[in-house]
């Protein structure tokens, strides 16, 4: 029932935006592809996050809390990316680099502004760590700065509208909460049991 409600709300977003409703936040900002906002820094964060999560999962396995959290992060990141990509194919929104109007929806599958897949994936990657460690180690909450940075950077280079990154962050956070509260990591359950041990334990004397 909850999934149906959320899906219905997502379908209403394009019409709310065109009517000048709750997504009046959407507007072009001054283009800035310099300094920390540069596209290559955004890509470094995205690829670095992917490499860290996959590497941590394979190296640590599921033999301790940290390894288990890496696998949940991988679940969350994969789900976030899949949901965001599905949204792109459905909503077909033009990017700020393609139009100065935020109300251009359903324009064809080559238009994939909504929602932000990068922000969704990064938010999905960090959320399980925040849930698992944030209470005892408050410094872990600083991980939330990563999707925040990427959200701002994507808007500054006109890759996304403001609502694109907000919904992307919500997708990643929701996927992270789901992954953190599963009985066991999903992707790990699909793989041979050897992956549960992790590379670091395979080579222990």
Cβ distance 27 to 162 under 8 Å?
yes
Residue at 10 is within a domain: no
- Identify the pLDDT of residue 24: 74
Cβ distance 97 to 28 under 8 Å?
no
Measure Cα distances from 104 to 27, 111, 160, 180 in Å: 12, 9, 12, 36
Residue 65 corresponds to which tokens in the numbers above? 């809390």
Residue at 146 is within a domain: yes
- Identify the pLDDT of residue 66: 95
- Identify the pLDDT of residue 189: 82
- Identify the pLDDT of residue 195: 64
Residue at 1 is within a domain: no
User: How many Å apart are CA 104 and CA 83, to the nearest integer?
Assistant: 21
Range of the domain at 172: 36-202
**Low-confidence residues of the chain: pLDDT under 70:** 1-23, 193-205
Residue at 4 is within a domain: no
pTM for this predicted structure: 0.87
Residue at 180 is within a domain: yes
Total residues belonging to the chain? 205
Residue at 44 is within a domain: yes
Residue at 21 is within a domain: no
Residue at 23 is within a domain: no
Cβ distance 131 to 173 under 8 Å?
no
Please give the tally of structural domains in the chain.
Answer: 1
């Amino acid at each position: 029932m909850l999934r149906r409600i959320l899906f219905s709300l997502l379908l209403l977003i394009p019409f709310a935006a065109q009517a000048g409703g709750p997504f009046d936040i959407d507007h072009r900002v001054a283009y800035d592809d310099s300094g920390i906002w540069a596209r290559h820094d955004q890509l470094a964060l995205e690829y670095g996050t992917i490499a860290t999560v996959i590497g941590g999962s394979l190296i640590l396995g599921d033999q301790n809390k940290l390894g288990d959290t890496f696998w949940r992060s991988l679940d969350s990141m994969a789900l976030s990316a899949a949901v965001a990509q599905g949204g792109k194919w459905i909503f077909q929104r033009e990017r700020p680099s393609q139009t100065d109007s935020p109300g251009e929806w359903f324009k064809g599958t080559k238009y994939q502004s909504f929602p932000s897949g990068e922000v969704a994936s990064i938010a999905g990657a960090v959320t399980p760590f925040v849930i698992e460690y944030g209470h005892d180690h408050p410094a872990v909450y600083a991980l939330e700065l990563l999707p925040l940075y990427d959200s701002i950077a994507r808007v500054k280079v006109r890759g996304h509208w403001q609502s694109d990154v907000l919904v992307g962050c919500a997708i990643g956070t929701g996927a992270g909460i789901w992954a953190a509260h599963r009985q066991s990591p999903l992707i790990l359950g699909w793989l041979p049991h050897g992956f549960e041990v992790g590379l670091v334990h395979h080579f222990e004397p």
